[in-house]
Structure 1
Amino acid sequence: MIQIKSFTFGAFSENTYVLHDESGEAVIIDPGCYDKAEYEELNRYIENNGLKPVKIINTHAHIDHVLGVATLKRKYNIPFYLHKLDEPLLKAVKTYAPNYGFAQFDEPEIDGYFDEGDTVKFGTTTLKVIFVPGHAPGHVAFVHDEQHFVVGGDVLFRQSIGRTDLPGGDMKTLLNSIRTKLFTLNDNYTVYAGHMQPTTIGFEKKNNPFLK
């Protein structure tokens, strides 16, 4: 049974997730922590629950989702995975991070890449990787069919969608990703998004104004 813990960090109100199962192994998804208090909050949860982080996996590489990657890589000595098409976005962060008040941004090294159809394994758990570009060129999401959920990053939000006015964004591509990759999941799948509260596929099919 997977436990999902969410943290909301920073001025961007970005959702960082820690997933773990009965083995105690865990993955950290989209770590957006930056200041001392945020790192302490995340690390305290990991330590209090006796967890062993084994990898960092990102849905994409916009600044609010990568701020904590390098520090957590060092602390837990674990690898970091991203889709290759988002590597240029990651490389660009250091050039504009000071403009957002993140002068101490530390660019992480990518240890591996994943793509559509790959799996992410930790403990007794396997997540399925699906490719959902549009908000970012290399955007992916992580699906767990047994517990009916998807960690979807900035693709689909509660009654909203990811913005497409950033470099590499494209509205038509994003809507196609949602319709062909997310809306093909059963209505009872929970969507854990990169911002705002969780939603479900069924709710968004009925209520999302961008997908009427």
Structure 2
Amino acid sequence: RGARPKKTPSRRKAWAPVAAAAPEAFRRYHKSAGARFGAPFSCVDCSMMDIRTFVGPGFGENAYLIWRLDGKSAVAVDPGADALSMIATLADEHLKLDAVLLTHAHIDHVEGVAELKRHANAPVYMHSDDMLLYDHAATQAAQFGMNIEKLPPIDRRIAHGHHLNLAGIDFHVRHVPGHSPGHVLYYVAEATVAFVGDVVFQGSIGRTDLPGGDYQQLMRSIREHVMTLPDETTLFCGHGPATTVRAERAFNPFIAPMYGGSFA
């Protein structure tokens, strides 16, 4: 659910320079059975972590399970409509769920929280500034003709600068409002990856026309808290394929002009 500039290259043409700028990301397709061009990463081997992507029907949102290859527990990020597949993966991999991390509280990224909570009873983490959205998830769902199960309470309220050690993995929290007031990203320095939700996408940025959205605030968040991550950081987005900081700085039509690029 990203914004679209007035003039954008085709997906294939837009992705070609990203491949050149981020070849390490393309190598990570090797464990994704049947991965197709432009598809989200299904499974990533970061030498110390496994990351699985679950794409929900309808909104096409990405949810993630992350665990250490030498560990026995996992962390879920933004469980959406495909929560049952996440539960099945936990069982198949013999993993205990340690936590559910939410980047923000739009319906497509919280739809599966109740299902996952009922199965694993893991604590749910979210920024306080998205509580209004979270508490009105049923209203959000109704706007799309959906009914959802009542969401469980938030167990841990997080803020910018918090460090979370979950499933043996250190997550660094950065508050990145603009798409929603309480949007955060989770950066894992030892694996050089970040889970960025709907702040930035491959070739686009998050919408700001939803309640609580603010374009100037979003661009400030991207400039100060996404583009300041190491260039080689892989960004796992809330929709669409993963990308890197380097690629988006160079080729994203919303971001590149801030760094001297042009898409005129």
**Normalising by the residue count of structure 1, what TM-score does the alignment of the two structures yield?**
0.95
**Greater mean alpha carbon deviation, residues 89-98 or residues 77-86:** 89-98
User: RCO greater where, 1 or 2, for CA within 8 Å and sep 6 or more?
Assistant: 2
The answer for unaligned runs of 5 or more in structure 1 is: none
Once structures 1 and 2 are overlaid, which stretch shifts more, 23-32 or 40-49? 40-49
**1:188 CA displacement:** 0.6
Q: 1:192: which partner in 2?
A: 236
Between stretches 22-31 and 94-103, larger displacement belongs to 94-103
Q: Deviations along 1:58-87, whole A, 9 cap, x unmatched?
A: 000000000010121111011111100000
Structure 2 match to 1:9: 56
Residues 69-123 of structure 1: CA distance to partner in whole angstroms, max 9, x if unpaired? 0121111011111100000011122123133232133222111100111122123
1:126 to 170, 174, 177: 170
Match of 1:55 in 2: 99
State the SS of the aligned residue for 2:136.
helix
Matches of residues 93-104 of structure 1 in structure 2 within 5 Å? 93-104=137-148
Aligned partner letter, 2:61:
E
1:154 aligned residue: 198
**Unaligned residue ranges in structure 2 (runs of 5+):** 1-47, 258-264
Question: How far apart in 2 are the matches of 1:10 and 1:179?
Answer: 31
Structure 1 distance, partners of 2:221, 2:153, is 28
- The residue identity in structure 2 corresponding to 1:198 is A
Higher-Rg member (1/2): 2
169-178 or 69-78, which moves further after superposition? 69-78
Q: 2:78 maps to what in 1?
A: 30
Q: Does 1:169 align with 2:216?
A: no
1:91–1:177 CA distance, 2 compared to 1 (3 A)? same
CA distance in 2, matches of 1:134, 1:40: 30
Partner SS, residue 180 of structure 2: coil
Q: Does 1:209 align with 2:258?
A: no
Residue pair 2:87, 2:116 contacting (<8 A) in 1 also:
no
Q: Which stretch shifts more, 190-199 or 122-131?
A: 122-131
CA contact (8 A) 1:67 1:106 kept: no
- 2:109 aligned counterpart, secondary structure: helix
Q: How many residue pairs were aligned?
A: 208
Query: Over the residues paired in the alignment, what is the CA RMSD in angstroms?
Result: 1.1
* Aligned partner of residue 209 in structure 1, secondary structure: coil
Q: Quote the Cα distance in structure 1 between the aligned partners of 2:192 and 2:100.
A: 21
Q: Which residue of 2 aligns with 1:83?
A: 127
Q: Which residue of structure 2 aligns with residue 114 of structure 1?
A: 158
SS at match of 2:65: strand
Query: Is the Cα–Cα contact under 8 Å of residues 75 and 167 in structure 2 kept in the other structure?
Result: no
Q: Which residue of 1 aligns with 2:87?
A: 43
Q: CA deviation at 1:26?
A: 0.7
Distance 1:114 1:167 in 2: 21
